[in-house]
Chains A and B, each alone.
Chain A
Amino acid sequence: MKKKYLDLSSGSWKRGLPKSLFYITASAMLASSLACSSDSGEVQYEDVKVTEPTKGVITTVKEVEPGKYSIIDEKVVEDKAQSKFIIQRLNGEEEVMGVAQASLLVDEKDKDSTTVHNNHVRHGGSGLGSILWWSGMGYMMGRNMSSNSYNGFYRPGVAGVSSDLRSSSVTRTVSRPVSGGRSGFFRSSSRGSFSS
Protein backbone atom coordinates (compact mmCIF):
# COMPACT_ATOMS: atom_id res chain seq x y z
CA MET A 1 0.00 0.00 0.00
CA LYS A 2 1.63 3.19 -1.17
CA LYS A 3 -0.94 5.88 -1.82
CA LYS A 4 0.00 8.76 -4.08
CA TYR A 5 -0.18 12.38 -3.09
CA LEU A 6 1.93 15.49 -3.16
CA ASP A 7 5.09 15.62 -1.12
CA LEU A 8 4.27 18.18 1.55
CA SER A 9 7.49 20.07 1.12
CA SER A 10 6.56 21.34 -2.33
CA GLY A 11 3.69 22.92 -4.16
CA SER A 12 1.67 26.10 -4.36
CA TRP A 13 -1.90 26.91 -5.20
CA LYS A 14 -0.73 29.65 -7.56
CA ARG A 15 -0.90 28.38 -11.11
CA GLY A 16 -1.31 31.38 -13.39
CA LEU A 17 -3.86 31.50 -16.16
CA PRO A 18 -5.67 28.28 -17.01
CA LYS A 19 -4.14 26.88 -20.20
CA SER A 20 -6.41 23.95 -20.96
CA LEU A 21 -8.41 24.11 -24.18
CA PHE A 22 -11.46 23.53 -22.06
CA TYR A 23 -11.00 26.92 -20.41
CA ILE A 24 -10.13 28.66 -23.64
CA THR A 25 -13.38 27.32 -25.06
CA ALA A 26 -15.41 28.28 -22.00
CA SER A 27 -13.86 31.72 -22.08
CA ALA A 28 -14.84 32.20 -25.71
CA MET A 29 -18.37 31.06 -24.89
CA LEU A 30 -18.57 33.60 -22.12
CA ALA A 31 -17.41 36.36 -24.43
CA SER A 32 -20.07 35.46 -26.98
CA SER A 33 -22.71 35.06 -24.27
CA LEU A 34 -21.92 38.49 -22.87
CA ALA A 35 -21.96 39.99 -26.35
CA CYS A 36 -25.36 38.63 -27.26
CA SER A 37 -27.81 37.11 -24.88
CA SER A 38 -29.48 34.58 -27.09
CA ASP A 39 -30.94 31.55 -25.38
CA SER A 40 -31.58 28.07 -26.35
CA GLY A 41 -29.96 24.78 -27.07
CA GLU A 42 -30.53 21.44 -25.53
CA VAL A 43 -27.63 19.23 -24.76
CA GLN A 44 -27.43 16.24 -26.98
CA TYR A 45 -25.05 13.35 -26.94
CA GLU A 46 -23.02 12.56 -29.97
CA ASP A 47 -21.82 9.02 -30.43
CA VAL A 48 -18.48 8.39 -32.04
CA LYS A 49 -17.95 4.76 -32.97
CA VAL A 50 -14.70 2.88 -33.01
CA THR A 51 -15.15 -0.50 -34.69
CA GLU A 52 -12.58 -3.25 -34.92
CA PRO A 53 -12.59 -6.87 -36.13
CA THR A 54 -12.58 -9.74 -33.63
CA LYS A 55 -11.63 -12.37 -36.19
CA GLY A 56 -8.70 -12.66 -38.58
CA VAL A 57 -8.20 -13.01 -42.33
CA ILE A 58 -6.03 -15.09 -44.64
CA THR A 59 -5.70 -13.43 -48.03
CA THR A 60 -3.89 -15.22 -50.88
CA VAL A 61 -2.70 -13.34 -53.97
CA LYS A 62 -1.21 -14.72 -57.15
CA GLU A 63 1.19 -12.91 -59.40
CA VAL A 64 -0.59 -12.96 -62.76
CA GLU A 65 2.08 -11.11 -64.69
CA PRO A 66 5.31 -9.53 -63.47
CA GLY A 67 4.42 -7.02 -60.70
CA LYS A 68 0.66 -7.52 -61.03
CA TYR A 69 -1.38 -9.47 -58.52
CA SER A 70 -4.89 -10.76 -58.13
CA ILE A 71 -6.61 -12.12 -55.02
CA ILE A 72 -7.38 -15.79 -55.58
CA ASP A 73 -8.64 -16.66 -52.11
CA GLU A 74 -9.72 -14.94 -48.92
CA LYS A 75 -11.15 -16.48 -45.78
CA VAL A 76 -11.96 -15.60 -42.19
CA VAL A 77 -10.11 -17.29 -39.32
CA GLU A 78 -11.29 -17.26 -35.69
CA ASP A 79 -8.04 -16.01 -34.21
CA LYS A 80 -6.89 -12.56 -35.27
CA ALA A 81 -3.30 -13.58 -34.59
CA GLN A 82 -3.55 -16.23 -37.30
CA SER A 83 -4.07 -13.60 -40.02
CA LYS A 84 -1.76 -14.12 -42.98
CA PHE A 85 -0.97 -12.68 -46.36
CA ILE A 86 0.18 -15.33 -48.85
CA ILE A 87 1.89 -14.39 -52.10
CA GLN A 88 2.25 -16.96 -54.88
CA ARG A 89 5.00 -15.72 -57.20
CA LEU A 90 5.16 -16.31 -60.95
CA ASN A 91 8.20 -18.56 -60.39
CA GLY A 92 6.11 -20.85 -58.18
CA GLU A 93 7.54 -19.67 -54.86
CA GLU A 94 5.20 -18.86 -52.00
CA GLU A 95 5.78 -16.16 -49.41
CA VAL A 96 3.79 -15.87 -46.16
CA MET A 97 3.59 -12.73 -44.03
CA GLY A 98 1.83 -11.71 -40.82
CA VAL A 99 -0.10 -8.45 -40.51
CA ALA A 100 2.78 -6.43 -39.10
CA GLN A 101 5.17 -7.47 -41.86
CA ALA A 102 2.57 -7.02 -44.58
CA SER A 103 1.66 -3.55 -43.36
CA LEU A 104 5.18 -2.40 -44.19
CA LEU A 105 4.23 -2.79 -47.85
CA VAL A 106 1.40 -0.26 -47.52
CA ASP A 107 2.06 3.44 -47.85
CA GLU A 108 -0.26 6.43 -47.62
CA LYS A 109 -1.05 6.69 -51.31
CA ASP A 110 -2.20 3.06 -51.32
CA LYS A 111 -4.92 4.12 -48.88
CA ASP A 112 -6.47 6.65 -51.24
CA SER A 113 -9.48 4.93 -52.78
CA THR A 114 -9.72 7.23 -55.82
CA THR A 115 -6.09 6.75 -56.74
CA VAL A 116 -6.35 3.02 -56.31
CA HIS A 117 -9.43 2.79 -58.46
CA ASN A 118 -7.98 4.94 -61.26
CA ASN A 119 -4.63 3.18 -61.30
CA HIS A 120 -6.28 -0.17 -61.41
CA VAL A 121 -8.62 0.72 -64.22
CA ARG A 122 -5.87 2.40 -66.20
CA HIS A 123 -3.14 -0.14 -65.70
CA GLY A 124 -5.17 -3.32 -65.36
CA GLY A 125 -3.71 -4.25 -62.01
CA SER A 126 -2.00 -2.84 -58.96
CA GLY A 127 0.86 -3.24 -56.52
CA LEU A 128 0.74 -5.25 -53.33
CA GLY A 129 0.32 -2.20 -51.06
CA SER A 130 -3.04 -1.15 -52.41
CA ILE A 131 -4.24 -4.77 -52.63
CA LEU A 132 -3.35 -5.27 -48.98
CA TRP A 133 -5.16 -2.12 -47.87
CA TRP A 134 -8.26 -2.67 -50.00
CA SER A 135 -8.67 -6.40 -49.26
CA GLY A 136 -9.81 -8.07 -46.04
CA MET A 137 -6.26 -7.59 -44.73
CA GLY A 138 -6.85 -3.83 -44.74
CA TYR A 139 -9.32 -4.21 -41.86
CA MET A 140 -6.55 -5.81 -39.82
CA MET A 141 -4.40 -2.75 -40.47
CA GLY A 142 -7.01 -0.24 -39.35
CA ARG A 143 -9.07 0.44 -42.46
CA ASN A 144 -12.53 1.71 -41.57
CA MET A 145 -14.81 -1.30 -41.04
CA SER A 146 -17.63 0.39 -42.91
CA SER A 147 -15.64 0.72 -46.14
CA ASN A 148 -15.89 -2.06 -48.71
CA SER A 149 -13.00 -3.98 -50.16
CA TYR A 150 -12.22 -3.17 -53.80
CA ASN A 151 -13.75 -5.81 -56.05
CA GLY A 152 -11.34 -5.07 -58.90
CA PHE A 153 -8.53 -6.77 -56.96
CA TYR A 154 -10.36 -10.09 -56.65
CA ARG A 155 -10.27 -12.72 -59.35
CA PRO A 156 -13.78 -13.16 -60.79
CA GLY A 157 -15.72 -15.61 -58.62
CA VAL A 158 -13.60 -14.93 -55.49
CA ALA A 159 -15.55 -13.18 -52.72
CA GLY A 160 -14.07 -10.90 -50.05
CA VAL A 161 -14.81 -11.31 -46.38
CA SER A 162 -16.07 -7.81 -45.52
CA SER A 163 -19.51 -8.87 -44.37
CA ASP A 164 -18.24 -11.78 -42.26
CA LEU A 165 -15.73 -9.55 -40.51
CA ARG A 166 -18.24 -6.80 -40.00
CA SER A 167 -20.85 -9.04 -38.44
CA SER A 168 -18.35 -10.25 -35.85
CA SER A 169 -16.72 -6.86 -35.21
CA VAL A 170 -17.06 -4.96 -31.95
CA THR A 171 -17.89 -1.32 -31.72
CA ARG A 172 -16.99 0.88 -28.85
CA THR A 173 -19.14 3.95 -28.65
CA VAL A 174 -17.64 7.14 -27.40
CA SER A 175 -20.46 9.39 -26.32
CA ARG A 176 -19.85 13.08 -25.87
CA PRO A 177 -22.29 15.88 -25.18
CA VAL A 178 -22.63 18.56 -27.84
CA SER A 179 -24.65 21.73 -27.55
CA GLY A 180 -27.11 21.57 -30.35
CA GLY A 181 -24.35 22.15 -32.89
CA ARG A 182 -24.02 25.70 -31.72
CA SER A 183 -20.91 25.58 -29.62
CA GLY A 184 -19.29 22.19 -30.07
CA PHE A 185 -18.06 22.51 -26.52
CA PHE A 186 -17.21 18.89 -25.84
CA ARG A 187 -16.34 17.97 -29.35
CA SER A 188 -12.61 17.68 -29.77
CA SER A 189 -12.78 18.35 -33.49
CA SER A 190 -14.10 21.87 -33.03
CA ARG A 191 -11.94 22.94 -30.14
CA GLY A 192 -9.26 24.41 -32.32
CA SER A 193 -11.66 26.96 -33.69
CA PHE A 194 -11.79 28.72 -30.34
CA SER A 195 -8.16 29.70 -30.35
CA SER A 196 -8.78 33.42 -30.72
Chain B
Amino acid sequence: MIREKRIVDLPKSIFNELGWEYYISEDAKDYLANDLVRVSEKEADGFYRAGNALYPMLVDVAEYILRNDLLGTTGIPANLHQIIRYTWENDHHFHLFGRFDFAGGIDDLPVKLLEFNADTPTTLPETAVLQWLQLKANHMNEEAQMNFVYDALVENFKRLKNLNRNKDPFILFSTMSDAPEDNNNVALLMEAAYEAGFEVSFKSIEEVIFSESDGIFANNENGDPVNYPFWFKLIPWEYIAVDEPELAEILTKIVTAEKAVVLNPAYTMLFQSKAILKYLWELYPKNEYLLESDFKKLRNKTFVEKVVLGREGANVRIVDENGGVIEEEGGDYDDQLKVYQEYAPLAKDFRGNFYQAGVFFAYEACGLGFRRNNHKILNNSAQFVGHYID
Protein backbone atom coordinates (compact mmCIF):
# COMPACT_ATOMS: atom_id res chain seq x y z
CA MET B 1 0.00 0.00 0.00
CA ILE B 2 1.34 3.39 -0.96
CA ARG B 3 2.14 5.65 1.95
CA GLU B 4 1.18 9.26 1.50
CA LYS B 5 1.48 12.43 3.45
CA ARG B 6 -1.32 14.96 3.38
CA ILE B 7 -0.04 18.47 2.69
CA VAL B 8 -1.49 21.96 2.54
CA ASP B 9 -2.22 23.28 -0.93
CA LEU B 10 0.14 25.79 -2.48
CA PRO B 11 -1.25 29.33 -2.20
CA LYS B 12 -3.07 30.32 -5.36
CA SER B 13 -1.09 33.50 -5.75
CA ILE B 14 2.15 31.56 -6.34
CA PHE B 15 0.68 30.31 -9.63
CA ASN B 16 -0.07 33.88 -10.65
CA GLU B 17 3.43 34.90 -9.67
CA LEU B 18 4.95 32.10 -11.71
CA GLY B 19 2.66 32.90 -14.62
CA TRP B 20 1.28 29.34 -14.50
CA GLU B 21 -2.40 30.13 -14.04
CA TYR B 22 -3.41 26.95 -15.83
CA TYR B 23 -2.95 25.01 -12.60
CA ILE B 24 -5.60 27.07 -10.82
CA SER B 25 -7.99 27.19 -13.78
CA GLU B 26 -11.26 25.29 -13.98
CA ASP B 27 -9.65 22.89 -16.50
CA ALA B 28 -7.06 21.80 -13.96
CA LYS B 29 -9.34 21.64 -10.92
CA ASP B 30 -7.95 19.06 -8.48
CA TYR B 31 -5.13 18.24 -10.90
CA LEU B 32 -2.43 18.82 -8.27
CA ALA B 33 -3.01 16.40 -5.43
CA ASN B 34 -2.61 17.61 -1.86
CA ASP B 35 -0.73 14.44 -0.97
CA LEU B 36 2.87 13.46 -1.40
CA VAL B 37 3.97 9.90 -2.04
CA ARG B 38 6.54 8.63 0.42
CA VAL B 39 9.51 7.12 -1.42
CA SER B 40 12.46 5.45 0.29
CA GLU B 41 16.05 6.22 -0.69
CA LYS B 42 16.33 2.72 -2.06
CA GLU B 43 13.25 3.21 -4.22
CA ALA B 44 14.61 6.55 -5.51
CA ASP B 45 17.88 4.77 -6.35
CA GLY B 46 15.83 2.20 -8.22
CA PHE B 47 14.09 4.79 -10.39
CA TYR B 48 17.38 6.57 -11.05
CA ARG B 49 19.10 3.35 -12.08
CA ALA B 50 16.18 2.23 -14.22
CA GLY B 51 16.18 5.43 -16.28
CA ASN B 52 19.94 5.37 -16.71
CA ALA B 53 19.93 1.70 -17.71
CA LEU B 54 17.06 2.02 -20.18
CA TYR B 55 18.23 4.98 -22.24
CA PRO B 56 21.34 3.23 -23.64
CA MET B 57 19.13 0.22 -24.41
CA LEU B 58 16.73 2.45 -26.33
CA VAL B 59 19.65 3.86 -28.30
CA ASP B 60 20.83 0.33 -29.16
CA VAL B 61 17.36 -0.71 -30.22
CA ALA B 62 16.82 2.39 -32.36
CA GLU B 63 20.12 1.66 -34.10
CA TYR B 64 18.98 -1.94 -34.60
CA ILE B 65 15.68 -0.79 -36.14
CA LEU B 66 17.43 1.54 -38.57
CA ARG B 67 20.24 -0.86 -39.48
CA ASN B 68 17.81 -3.66 -40.19
CA ASP B 69 15.42 -1.50 -42.14
CA LEU B 70 12.57 -2.01 -39.69
CA LEU B 71 11.33 1.59 -39.64
CA GLY B 72 8.37 0.52 -41.73
CA THR B 73 7.23 -1.78 -38.92
CA THR B 74 7.04 0.93 -36.25
CA GLY B 75 3.86 2.71 -37.32
CA ILE B 76 5.82 5.95 -37.81
CA PRO B 77 4.50 7.83 -40.85
CA ALA B 78 6.70 7.32 -43.92
CA ASN B 79 7.06 11.04 -44.52
CA LEU B 80 9.22 11.25 -41.38
CA HIS B 81 11.61 8.44 -42.23
CA GLN B 82 14.19 10.56 -44.04
CA ILE B 83 14.42 13.17 -41.28
CA ILE B 84 14.59 10.41 -38.67
CA ARG B 85 17.51 8.76 -40.42
CA TYR B 86 19.31 12.07 -40.95
CA THR B 87 18.99 13.30 -37.38
CA TRP B 88 20.00 9.91 -36.02
CA GLU B 89 23.25 10.01 -37.94
CA ASN B 90 24.05 13.61 -37.00
CA ASP B 91 24.55 13.91 -33.28
CA HIS B 92 24.28 17.68 -33.03
CA HIS B 93 20.53 17.02 -33.39
CA PHE B 94 20.54 16.42 -29.68
CA HIS B 95 17.74 14.88 -27.63
CA LEU B 96 16.98 17.39 -24.87
CA PHE B 97 14.74 15.37 -22.60
CA GLY B 98 12.14 12.66 -22.27
CA ARG B 99 10.00 11.03 -19.60
CA PHE B 100 9.82 7.35 -18.75
CA ASP B 101 6.50 6.05 -17.49
CA PHE B 102 6.94 3.21 -15.07
CA ALA B 103 4.71 0.75 -13.28
CA GLY B 104 5.85 -0.21 -9.77
CA GLY B 105 9.08 1.04 -8.26
CA ILE B 106 7.37 1.54 -4.91
CA ASP B 107 5.36 -0.61 -2.56
CA ASP B 108 7.61 -3.64 -3.22
CA LEU B 109 6.65 -3.76 -6.87
CA PRO B 110 9.46 -4.00 -9.45
CA VAL B 111 10.12 -1.00 -11.73
CA LYS B 112 8.77 -1.83 -15.18
CA LEU B 113 8.90 0.34 -18.29
CA LEU B 114 5.45 1.14 -19.70
CA GLU B 115 6.64 3.61 -22.34
CA PHE B 116 9.06 6.44 -23.01
CA ASN B 117 7.66 9.88 -23.92
CA ALA B 118 10.61 11.07 -25.93
CA ASP B 119 9.21 13.65 -28.31
CA THR B 120 6.90 15.99 -26.38
CA PRO B 121 6.92 15.03 -22.70
CA THR B 122 4.92 17.26 -20.39
CA THR B 123 4.40 17.58 -16.59
CA LEU B 124 7.68 19.50 -16.46
CA PRO B 125 6.53 22.37 -14.19
CA GLU B 126 4.84 19.95 -11.83
CA THR B 127 7.86 17.70 -11.53
CA ALA B 128 10.63 20.27 -11.62
CA VAL B 129 9.11 23.11 -9.62
CA LEU B 130 5.67 22.61 -8.08
CA GLN B 131 6.40 19.48 -6.06
CA TRP B 132 9.53 21.15 -4.73
CA LEU B 133 7.47 24.19 -3.72
CA GLN B 134 5.09 21.80 -1.96
CA LEU B 135 7.97 20.61 0.20
CA LYS B 136 8.89 24.17 1.06
CA ALA B 137 5.32 25.29 1.71
CA ASN B 138 4.94 22.38 4.12
CA HIS B 139 8.23 23.04 5.92
CA MET B 140 9.70 19.75 4.77
CA ASN B 141 13.33 19.08 3.86
CA GLU B 142 13.64 20.42 0.33
CA GLU B 143 16.53 18.09 -0.46
CA ALA B 144 14.26 15.11 0.16
CA GLN B 145 13.22 14.72 -3.46
CA MET B 146 14.66 13.10 -6.57
CA ASN B 147 14.46 16.25 -8.60
CA PHE B 148 17.14 18.11 -10.49
CA VAL B 149 15.17 18.29 -13.73
CA TYR B 150 15.75 21.99 -14.22
CA ASP B 151 19.53 21.84 -13.73
CA ALA B 152 19.70 18.85 -16.05
CA LEU B 153 17.80 20.79 -18.72
CA VAL B 154 20.15 23.76 -18.40
CA GLU B 155 23.12 21.43 -18.82
CA ASN B 156 21.53 19.82 -21.86
CA PHE B 157 20.83 23.17 -23.51
CA LYS B 158 24.53 23.94 -22.97
CA ARG B 159 25.43 20.63 -24.62
CA LEU B 160 23.14 21.48 -27.51
CA LYS B 161 24.88 24.83 -27.89
CA ASN B 162 28.34 23.24 -27.80
CA LEU B 163 27.36 20.67 -30.40
CA ASN B 164 26.23 23.50 -32.69
CA ARG B 165 28.96 26.12 -32.34
CA ASN B 166 28.51 27.15 -35.97
CA LYS B 167 24.95 28.36 -35.27
CA ASP B 168 23.81 31.52 -33.50
CA PRO B 169 22.24 30.59 -30.17
CA PHE B 170 18.76 31.89 -31.00
CA ILE B 171 15.97 29.50 -30.19
CA LEU B 172 12.30 29.80 -30.97
CA PHE B 173 9.73 27.88 -28.93
CA SER B 174 6.28 26.98 -30.22
CA THR B 175 3.11 25.33 -29.07
CA MET B 176 -0.25 25.19 -30.72
CA SER B 177 -2.32 28.22 -29.77
CA ASP B 178 -4.82 27.83 -26.94
CA ALA B 179 -2.69 25.27 -25.13
CA PRO B 180 -2.15 26.82 -21.68
CA GLU B 181 -0.80 23.63 -20.18
CA ASP B 182 1.74 23.28 -22.96
CA ASN B 183 2.69 26.93 -22.61
CA ASN B 184 3.64 26.41 -18.98
CA ASN B 185 5.92 23.56 -20.00
CA VAL B 186 7.50 25.72 -22.66
CA ALA B 187 7.89 28.67 -20.28
CA LEU B 188 10.07 26.51 -18.05
CA LEU B 189 12.09 25.24 -21.01
CA MET B 190 12.62 28.82 -22.17
CA GLU B 191 13.93 29.76 -18.77
CA ALA B 192 16.39 26.85 -18.82
CA ALA B 193 17.53 27.67 -22.38
CA TYR B 194 18.03 31.29 -21.42
CA GLU B 195 20.10 30.28 -18.42
CA ALA B 196 22.22 28.13 -20.74
CA GLY B 197 23.03 31.16 -22.91
CA PHE B 198 20.36 31.05 -25.61
CA GLU B 199 18.32 34.02 -26.68
CA VAL B 200 14.77 32.78 -26.49
CA SER B 201 11.54 33.71 -28.26
CA PHE B 202 8.06 32.31 -28.39
CA LYS B 203 5.55 32.14 -31.25
CA SER B 204 2.67 29.75 -31.60
CA ILE B 205 3.22 27.40 -34.50
CA GLU B 206 0.50 29.13 -36.48
CA GLU B 207 2.73 32.19 -36.77
CA VAL B 208 6.04 30.50 -37.56
CA ILE B 209 7.37 30.88 -41.11
CA PHE B 210 9.05 27.89 -42.74
CA SER B 211 11.24 28.33 -45.80
CA GLU B 212 12.68 25.18 -47.31
CA SER B 213 15.60 27.14 -48.73
CA ASP B 214 16.32 29.49 -45.82
CA GLY B 215 15.10 27.92 -42.61
CA ILE B 216 12.74 28.88 -39.80
CA PHE B 217 11.57 32.43 -39.17
CA ALA B 218 9.22 34.40 -36.98
CA ASN B 219 8.31 38.02 -37.47
CA ASN B 220 9.54 40.52 -34.93
CA GLU B 221 7.32 43.33 -33.74
CA ASN B 222 8.15 45.42 -36.79
CA GLY B 223 6.92 42.63 -39.02
CA ASP B 224 10.46 41.74 -40.11
CA PRO B 225 11.29 38.03 -40.30
CA VAL B 226 13.99 36.86 -37.90
CA ASN B 227 15.82 33.61 -38.54
CA TYR B 228 16.07 31.00 -35.78
CA PRO B 229 18.72 28.28 -36.10
CA PHE B 230 16.98 26.33 -33.30
CA TRP B 231 13.28 25.56 -33.01
CA PHE B 232 11.66 23.68 -30.13
CA LYS B 233 8.12 22.56 -30.87
CA LEU B 234 5.89 21.10 -28.20
CA ILE B 235 3.89 19.56 -31.01
CA PRO B 236 4.15 15.84 -31.72
CA TRP B 237 6.02 14.87 -34.86
CA GLU B 238 3.20 12.57 -35.91
CA TYR B 239 0.71 15.47 -35.80
CA ILE B 240 2.99 17.28 -38.23
CA ALA B 241 3.32 14.18 -40.40
CA VAL B 242 -0.40 13.41 -40.53
CA ASP B 243 -2.11 16.80 -40.24
CA GLU B 244 0.45 18.93 -42.12
CA PRO B 245 2.38 16.65 -44.50
CA GLU B 246 3.66 19.68 -46.41
CA LEU B 247 5.28 20.96 -43.23
CA ALA B 248 6.89 17.54 -42.67
CA GLU B 249 8.37 17.82 -46.15
CA ILE B 250 9.65 21.37 -45.62
CA LEU B 251 11.12 20.50 -42.22
CA THR B 252 12.93 17.55 -43.76
CA LYS B 253 14.53 19.90 -46.28
CA ILE B 254 15.37 22.51 -43.64
CA VAL B 255 16.93 19.99 -41.27
CA THR B 256 18.85 17.97 -43.85
CA ALA B 257 20.24 21.20 -45.33
CA GLU B 258 21.29 22.19 -41.79
CA LYS B 259 19.25 25.38 -41.86
CA ALA B 260 17.87 24.59 -38.42
CA VAL B 261 17.97 22.13 -35.57
CA VAL B 262 14.42 21.06 -34.67
CA LEU B 263 13.80 19.74 -31.18
CA ASN B 264 13.19 17.18 -29.92
CA PRO B 265 14.88 15.61 -32.94
CA ALA B 266 12.73 13.54 -35.30
CA TYR B 267 14.54 10.34 -34.27
CA THR B 268 12.87 10.56 -30.86
CA MET B 269 9.84 9.17 -32.70
CA LEU B 270 11.69 5.85 -32.65
CA PHE B 271 11.72 5.94 -28.85
CA GLN B 272 8.20 7.34 -28.69
CA SER B 273 6.56 4.70 -30.87
CA LYS B 274 5.46 1.87 -28.62
CA ALA B 275 6.65 -0.48 -31.35
CA ILE B 276 10.05 -0.07 -29.73
CA LEU B 277 8.73 -2.09 -26.76
CA LYS B 278 8.61 -5.17 -28.97
CA TYR B 279 12.17 -4.66 -30.18
CA LEU B 280 13.46 -3.86 -26.68
CA TRP B 281 12.12 -7.23 -25.54
CA GLU B 282 13.59 -8.90 -28.60
CA LEU B 283 17.08 -7.53 -27.91
CA TYR B 284 16.94 -7.61 -24.13
CA PRO B 285 14.61 -10.51 -23.29
CA LYS B 286 13.87 -10.88 -19.59
CA ASN B 287 15.64 -7.64 -18.71
CA GLU B 288 14.59 -6.65 -15.21
CA TYR B 289 13.01 -3.35 -16.34
CA LEU B 290 11.13 -4.71 -19.35
CA LEU B 291 7.79 -6.36 -19.88
CA GLU B 292 7.23 -8.93 -22.61
CA SER B 293 5.91 -7.11 -25.66
CA ASP B 294 4.97 -8.19 -29.15
CA PHE B 295 2.97 -7.25 -32.22
CA LYS B 296 0.86 -10.36 -31.51
CA LYS B 297 -1.46 -10.96 -28.57
CA LEU B 298 0.35 -12.59 -25.68
CA ARG B 299 -0.74 -16.06 -24.64
CA ASN B 300 -1.62 -17.17 -21.14
CA LYS B 301 -1.06 -13.86 -19.44
CA THR B 302 -2.83 -10.61 -18.80
CA PHE B 303 -1.71 -8.04 -21.33
CA VAL B 304 -2.27 -4.44 -22.34
CA GLU B 305 -3.16 -3.64 -25.92
CA LYS B 306 -1.82 -0.23 -26.97
CA VAL B 307 -1.70 1.67 -30.23
CA VAL B 308 1.89 2.61 -31.13
CA LEU B 309 1.35 6.38 -31.27
CA GLY B 310 -1.51 6.76 -28.79
CA ARG B 311 -1.53 9.42 -26.10
CA GLU B 312 -3.03 9.90 -22.66
CA GLY B 313 -4.29 6.35 -22.36
CA ALA B 314 -6.44 6.50 -25.48
CA ASN B 315 -7.22 3.21 -27.26
CA VAL B 316 -5.79 1.07 -24.49
CA ARG B 317 -7.34 -2.25 -23.38
CA ILE B 318 -6.35 -4.53 -20.56
CA VAL B 319 -7.15 -8.14 -21.44
CA ASP B 320 -6.92 -11.10 -19.07
CA GLU B 321 -5.41 -14.50 -19.89
CA ASN B 322 -8.78 -15.82 -21.04
CA GLY B 323 -9.34 -12.96 -23.44
CA GLY B 324 -11.75 -11.05 -21.18
CA VAL B 325 -11.48 -7.27 -21.21
CA ILE B 326 -10.64 -5.99 -17.71
CA GLU B 327 -10.60 -2.31 -18.61
CA GLU B 328 -10.84 -0.32 -21.79
CA GLU B 329 -10.35 3.28 -22.88
CA GLY B 330 -11.66 4.51 -26.24
CA GLY B 331 -10.06 7.07 -28.51
CA ASP B 332 -9.32 8.23 -32.02
CA TYR B 333 -6.29 6.08 -32.75
CA ASP B 334 -7.90 2.72 -33.34
CA ASP B 335 -6.58 2.34 -36.89
CA GLN B 336 -2.96 2.42 -35.72
CA LEU B 337 -0.60 -0.51 -35.39
CA LYS B 338 -0.99 -2.23 -32.00
CA VAL B 339 1.49 -3.53 -29.48
CA TYR B 340 0.69 -6.06 -26.77
CA GLN B 341 2.57 -5.64 -23.51
CA GLU B 342 2.43 -7.87 -20.48
CA TYR B 343 0.40 -6.25 -17.72
CA ALA B 344 2.35 -4.98 -14.72
CA PRO B 345 0.48 -4.14 -11.54
CA LEU B 346 0.43 -0.47 -10.51
CA ALA B 347 0.97 0.56 -6.91
CA LYS B 348 -2.25 1.43 -5.06
CA ASP B 349 -3.26 3.57 -2.13
CA PHE B 350 -5.93 2.82 0.48
CA ARG B 351 -8.59 4.66 -1.54
CA GLY B 352 -8.00 2.38 -4.50
CA ASN B 353 -6.09 4.87 -6.66
CA PHE B 354 -3.51 3.48 -9.08
CA TYR B 355 -0.10 5.16 -9.41
CA GLN B 356 2.28 5.48 -12.35
CA ALA B 357 5.74 6.95 -11.91
CA GLY B 358 7.17 9.46 -14.40
CA VAL B 359 10.97 9.75 -14.48
CA PHE B 360 12.46 12.56 -16.54
CA PHE B 361 15.64 11.88 -18.45
CA ALA B 362 18.00 14.60 -19.65
CA TYR B 363 21.46 13.08 -20.11
CA GLU B 364 20.60 11.09 -16.99
CA ALA B 365 17.50 10.28 -14.95
CA CYS B 366 16.82 13.55 -13.16
CA GLY B 367 13.37 13.77 -11.65
CA LEU B 368 10.50 11.71 -10.32
CA GLY B 369 6.78 12.44 -10.14
CA PHE B 370 3.60 10.39 -9.99
CA ARG B 371 0.22 10.41 -11.65
CA ARG B 372 -2.79 8.64 -10.23
CA ASN B 373 -6.30 7.64 -11.29
CA ASN B 374 -9.02 5.54 -9.76
CA HIS B 375 -8.71 3.11 -12.67
CA LYS B 376 -5.82 1.17 -14.14
CA ILE B 377 -5.58 3.03 -17.44
CA LEU B 378 -4.33 6.50 -16.66
CA ASN B 379 -5.92 9.09 -18.90
CA ASN B 380 -6.00 12.87 -19.02
CA SER B 381 -8.12 12.99 -15.87
CA ALA B 382 -5.16 11.68 -13.82
CA GLN B 383 -3.88 13.78 -10.93
CA PHE B 384 -0.25 14.74 -10.48
CA VAL B 385 1.17 13.65 -7.12
CA GLY B 386 4.54 14.82 -5.86
CA HIS B 387 6.83 12.81 -3.62
CA TYR B 388 9.18 13.06 -0.69
CA ILE B 389 12.04 10.82 0.26
CA ASP B 390 12.12 9.43 3.74
| Contacting pair B151 A175 (CB below 8 A) | no
- Tell me if B220 is interfacial: C-beta within 8 Å of chain A: yes
**B binding-site residues for A, Cβ under 8 Å:** 10-14, 16-19, 21, 44-45, 47-48, 52-53, 55-56, 59, 63, 88-89, 91, 94-95, 129, 132-133, 136-137, 142-143, 146, 148, 150-151, 154, 159, 170, 187, 190-192, 194-195, 199-203, 220-222, 224, 226, 363-366
Known: A30-B136, A33-B14, A40-B16. A20 touches B194 (CB 8 A): no
Q: Mark A135-158, 1 if CB is under 8 A from B, else 0.
A: 000000000000000000000000
A sample of 16 cross-chain residue pairs with beta-carbon separation below 8 angstroms, ordered by A number, consists of A1-B88, A3-B95, A5-B364, A8-B53, A13-B365, A23-B129, A27-B136, A30-B136, A33-B11, A33-B13, A37-B12, A41-B16, A41-B17, A172-B199, A173-B220, A179-B16
A177 and B202 CA atoms in complex are apart in Å by 9
A170 and B195 CA atoms in complex are apart in Å by 24
A171 and B88 CA atoms in complex are apart in Å by 33
A69 and B196 CA atoms in complex are apart in Å by 44
Interface residues on A, range: 35 or more
Closest residue of chain B to A186, judged by CB?
B191
Q: Is the interface of B mostly helix, strand, loop or mixed?
A: helix
- Tell me if A183 is interfacial: C-beta within 8 Å of chain B: yes
A47 and B202 CA atoms in complex are apart in Å by 10
Q: How far is the CB of B186 from chain A (nearest CB, A)?
A: 10
A42 and B24 CA atoms in complex are apart in Å by 13
- Tell me if A16 is interfacial: C-beta within 8 Å of chain B: yes
A29 and B48 CA atoms in complex are apart in Å by 30
A140 and B63 CA atoms in complex are apart in Å by 48
A172 and B221 CA atoms in complex are apart in Å by 9
List residues of chain B with CB within 8 A of the CB of A171. Answer: 220-222, 224, 226
Known: A11-B48, A173-B226, A176-B194. A22 touches B221 (CB 8 A): no
Q: How far is the CB of A80 from chain B (nearest CB, A)?
A: 15
Q: How far is the CB of B37 from chain A (nearest CB, A)?
A: 15
- Tell me if A192 is interfacial: C-beta within 8 Å of chain B: no
Closest residue of chain B to A29, judged by CB?
B17
Q: How far is the CB of B217 from chain A (nearest CB, A)?
A: 11
